[in-house]
């Protein structure tokens, strides 16, 4: 059983968010919760929120009430780049410098361990 969640247009650089995503990839959900709660990076908050949504989706899927959060693990977590907000800043000699404010899309997939052993 596999379930996923997606958060789009998060106002954070994908590079910074990937540093946090690498910490929880492949871990059990309970360990991932603990890691994200105590990580001192700003990216941990939206990733934790998306992970909780994916776990909730797994539990509430039709016919899968026997799934326990202890059996789930983070099978895939992906941080993709979203659209950039482009701003300009005055520079020397009348020029303008572009500032790119990056956004991210967070994609989390959780699976049950029993599914891996059945195959």
**What is the pLDDT, as a whole number, of residue 63?**
63
| Mean pLDDT calculated for residue range 92-102 | 96
Mind listing the pLDDT tens digit for each residue in 18-57?
Answer: 999 999 999 999 999 999 999 999 999 999 999 999 999 9
Between residues 113 and 87, the one the model is more confident about: 87
Q: Which pLDDT belongs to residue 65?
A: 63
Ordered by where they begin, the domains of the chain are 2-118 (3.90.470.10)
Question: How many angstroms separate the CA atoms of 64 and 81, rounded?
Answer: 32
| Region 96-107 average pLDDT | 97
Q: What is the mean pLDDT of residues 62-91?
A: 88
The predicted model scores a pTM of 0.88
pLDDT at 113 over 60: yes
Taking 60 as the threshold, does the pLDDT of residue 104 lie above it?
yes
Which 3-state string (H, E, C) describes 28-61? EHHHHHHHHHHCCCCCHHHHHHHHHHHHHHHHHC
Give the residue-averaged pLDDT of 66-75: 86
Q: What are the residue ranges of helices labelled H in the chain?
A: 14-24, 29-38, 44-60, 113-118
Question: What does the pLDDT read at residue 64?
Answer: 59
């Amino acid at each position: 059983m596999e379930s996923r969640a997606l958060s789009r247009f998060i106002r954070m650089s994908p590079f910074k968010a990937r540093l946090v995503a690498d910490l929880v990839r492949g871990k059990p959900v309970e360990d991932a919760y603990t890691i994200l709660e105590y990580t001192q990076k700003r990216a941990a908050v939206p990733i934790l929120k998306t992970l909780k949504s994916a776990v909730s989706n797994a539990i509430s899927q039709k016919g899968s009430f026997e799934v326990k959060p202890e059996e789930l693990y983070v099978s895939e977590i992906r941080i993709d780049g979203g659209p950039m907000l482009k701003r300009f800043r005055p520079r020397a000699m009348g020029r303008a410098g572009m500032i790119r404010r990056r956004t991210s899309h967070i994609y989390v997939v959780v699976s049950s361990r029993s599914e891996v052993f059945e195959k």
